[in-house]
Structure formats: C-alpha cells, structure tokens
Amino acid sequence: MSIYNCPHCGEKSFNPWTKANAGQLNSPGKVCQKCGRRAVNGKAATIFNMVFSIICFALIVVVYLNAPKTAGTPYSWIDTFEIEINIGLILLKFLVPRLANAFFFKLEPAIIKNT
Ligand SMILES: [Zn+2]
C-alpha cells in the first residue's frame, strides 16, 4: 500500500498535490476520485504539523525578543534581517507541513463531516 492509496477503497486515487491539500485530521479532507469518500492526512501528519507550528512560533518569539541584543555582535544580521527572518519562518510554517503531507504520512478517513 502506498501513501497515496485511499483509506476507504484502497485505490491509488491520490497524488502528492491532492494529498498536500487534503489537510489533517482537523480538516474536512479531499474526496477520493474513485469512491467519493473523503480522506485526510492522519495522526502522524497532524502531530508533525502541530509540533512544527509550535517550533516556528517559538523561533519567531525568540527572534523578536533577541534581535535587538545582537547589534554589534557577529549575529547582528539577525537584527538587520529580523522582518525577513520572521516572514521566512511564517512561510516555512505553511509550506513545510504541506510538503510533508505531499510525500510522507498515510491517509486516513476524514472524521469531520462536510457541512
Ligand atoms: Zn476511495
């Protein structure tokens, strides 16, 4: 079984793009092209996304608090590029979990009902 197989019908009906957009357990998921039922990235993906988001947020806070202190040290680039670093971290927070979803983790049946 590949990670692109539907958890309902077992058909390989997902690809990296549709899988990246299926979201995690807390999202409505993506409809399987074969059986019409919805699938999401499972527990491992959800935990990874949470942990990664927390790390990114922590880094943003650390950069915010410490950037001014780096002036005059070899790390003064942190102060100079503080905004760029934070934008980069925010981008990573959105991109990395999607990439991870696209290429890792198994699909699981969606639990949230589409309303
Ligand atoms: Zn299916």
Residues that place a CB less than 5 A from ion ligand 1: 6, 8-9, 32, 34-35
Which percentage of the chain shows pLDDT scores above 90?
92
> What is the pTM (predicted TM-score) of this model?
0.84
- Judged against a pLDDT cut of 70, whether residue 115 lies above it is answered with no
Give the pLDDT band of residue 59 (cuts 50, 70, 90).
very high
Residue keyed to tokens 């003064």:
76
Q: 38 - beta bridge partners? A: 31
Q: Which two tokens stand for residue 110?
A: 């969606």
Interval between CA 34 and ligand 1 midpoint (Å): 5
The size of the chain, in residues, is 115
Nearest to 97 by CA among 20, 40, 5: 20
Give the pLDDT band of residue 1 (cuts 50, 70, 90).
confident
